[in-house]
Amino acid sequence: MTLRVLGVDPGLTRCGIGVVDVERNRRATMVAVGVVGTSPEETLDQRLLVIALAIDDWLDRYEPHVLAVERVFSQLNVSTVMGVAQASGVVIAAAARRGIPVALHTPSEVKAAVTGSGTSNKDAVTKLVTKILRLDAPPRPADAADALALAITHAWRAGSGAAVATTGPGSSSLTPAQRAWADAEAKARRAR
Amino acid sequence: MTLRVLGVDPGLTRCGIGVVDVERNRRATMVAVGVVGTSPEETLDQRLLVIALAIDDWLDRYEPHVLAVERVFSQLNVSTVMGVAQASGVVIAAAARRGIPVALHTPSEVKAAVTGSGTSNKDAVTKLVTKILRLDAPPRPADAADALALAITHAWRAGSGAAVATTGPGSSSLTPAQRAWADAEAKARRAR
């Protein structure tokens, strides 16, 4: 069975959106990628409306099994984080309205899943996303690559969990990326 | 003409909602008030869905001319402010989807409009809201009173702006509350 994940890197100015199909053997294929942009000169309600209509359109068009969104953190500056949180609220509610499950992943979980290290930089994530999805060129801007990385992360996380369960006790069958992901996940759980 | 304003004090755990009709002479009458609560034990997507469905219901039922929402600030702790911002995003997008204008007001603008001072405490706001709306008892919890205060603030702000325009230059015709509001507004403008 193929899992279709719609990943969203939320933001008011640029909202990255990516759809990925992932097979049981972890092979991931890009279905679509894009960025929804809104101008800071628009009012907040009009900016959120553009994002709401765009996410509705993507959910209707690609019918993902699950929505993966970046868990919003506070390391950004305050005014930025507000907009990111408001955009993520709109995106999450749009999926919930359709009964589509929503998964949240931290940036370090995403980095760990895709690159094998929770502290990789954005360039490394873009590079690995390009390789994993067998793309001719890196997805641009970075928000688009991040959205695809989120989608891959979620599918591999769900998939690796299943793999661990079927291969019995121990984690010796995990790839380095899966181990890094498991570590990042455990860390995120402890932090909650 | 009567202006109907739906005020929302956003939050994940408690979202205050209040509907107020305000006449040209500033007389304000409460139409409805309520609180939408969601449990921290629910997942974020289910919490935002409850808020989205509730605000849809209120917008459909009361058909306000305008939605007034508290402008989210950062003085709260970070995890709280995230939830507040996500809830406000959902609420704002719901109004924007219906073409209902959205106005944002800061807490100090609300305090100034309702009590005459931008630094009043919550009890003073609740007390004045009760008096302004000629209620037998104070609206509880505070989130409900805050939602009503937001709605009153918006109507009076819109109304006082019109009054100032028709009474010519100078602000001598302003009440103390209107003057305090004008000061708070000017301050908020400078801070942007």
Q: What is the CATH number of the domain that holds A10?
A: 3.30.420.10
Q: CA B22, CA B184: separation in Å to the nearest integer? A: 21
Task: Tell how far CA B76 is from the center of its chain.
Answer: 18
Q: CA B96, CA B66: separation in Å to the nearest integer? A: 10
The answer on pLDDT for B174 being more than 60 is no
Distances (CA, A) of A150 to A18, A51, A163, B129: 8, 18, 19, 46
Percent of chain A, pLDDT > 90?
69
| Segment A39-50, tens digit of pLDDT | 999 999 999 999
Whether A44 sits inside 8 A of B104 (CB atoms) is yes
Q: Does B2 touch chain A (CB under 8 A)?
A: no
Instruction: Classify each residue of A12-21 as buried b or exposed e, where b means 16 or more C-beta atoms within 10 Å of its C-beta.
Output: bbbbbbbbbb
Stated as kind and residue range, the H or E segment containing A31 is strand A28-37
**What pLDDT is stored for residue B183 in this prediction?**
53
The answer on pLDDT for B59 being more than 60 is yes
Q: How confident is the model at residue A137 (pLDDT cuts 50, 70, 90)?
A: very high
Q: CA A35, CA A44: separation in Å to the nearest integer? A: 18
Q: Does A92 touch chain B (CB under 8 A)?
A: yes
CB-CB contact of A98 with A89 (8 Å): no
DSSP A56: H
- pLDDT (average), residues A2-27: 95
B161 vs A165: which has the higher pLDDT: B161
**What pLDDT is stored for residue B164 in this prediction?**
33
- Number of domains within chain A: 1
Task: Tell how far CA B49 is from the center of its chain.
Answer: 21
Whether B82 sits inside 8 A of A81 (CB atoms) is yes
**What pLDDT is stored for residue B71 in this prediction?**
87
Stated as kind and residue range, the H or E segment containing A35 is strand A28-37
Per the DSSP assignment, residues forming a β-bridge with A7 are A18, A68
Smallest CA–CA distance from B53 into chain A, residue: A97
**What pLDDT is stored for residue A103 in this prediction?**
96
Residue in B51, B70, B92, B192 to test binding to A, most A beta-carbons within 10 Å: B92
Name, in order, each residue with C-beta under 8 angstroms of B34's C-beta and a sequence gap of 6 or more: B16, B17, B18, B58, B144
Q: In what order do the strands lie in the sheet with A66-70?
A: A28-37, A14-22, A3-9, A66-70, A102-105
Let me know if B60 is a catalytic residue. no
One of B70, B109, B146, B185 is an active-site residue; which one? B70
Name the pTM for this structure.
Answer: 0.81
Whether B93 sits inside 8 A of A93 (CB atoms) is yes
- pLDDT (average), residues A162-182: 40
- pLDDT (average), residues A164-190: 43
Residue in A36, A70, A86 to test binding to B, most B beta-carbons within 10 Å: A86
How high is the ipTM of this complex?
0.78
The answer on pLDDT for B151 being more than 80 is yes
- pLDDT (average), residues B138-156: 94
One of B41, B42, B57, B143 is an active-site residue; which one? B143
The answer on pLDDT for A9 being more than 70 is yes
Name, in order, each residue with C-beta under 8 angstroms of B95's C-beta and a sequence gap of 6 or more: A45, B55, B59, B67, B101, B102
Instruction: Classify each residue of B23-49 as buried b or exposed e, where b means 16 or more C-beta atoms within 10 Å of its C-beta.
Output: eeebebebbebbbbbbeeeeebbebbb
| Segment A75-115, tens digit of pLDDT | 556 667 889 999 999 999 999 999 999 999 999 999 999 99
Least confident of A25-29, A158-162, B34-38, B43-47: A158-162
Domain, as residue range, for A26: 3-191
| Residue closest to B18 by CA, chosen among B178, B115, B142 | B142
One of B9, B109, B146, B185 is an active-site residue; which one? B9
Give the CA-trace dihedral at A74, A79, A80, A82, to 10 degrees: 70
**What pLDDT is stored for residue A1 in this prediction?**
81
Residue in B12, B48, B56 to test binding to A, most A beta-carbons within 10 Å: B48
Name, in order, each residue with C-beta under 8 angstroms of A106's C-beta and a sequence gap of 6 or more: A70, A71, A73, A184, A188
Please tell me which of B85-89, B115-119, B159-163 the model is most confident about, judged by mean pLDDT: B85-89
Total count of residues recorded for chain B: 192
Nearest to B52 among A53, A87, A97 (CB): A97
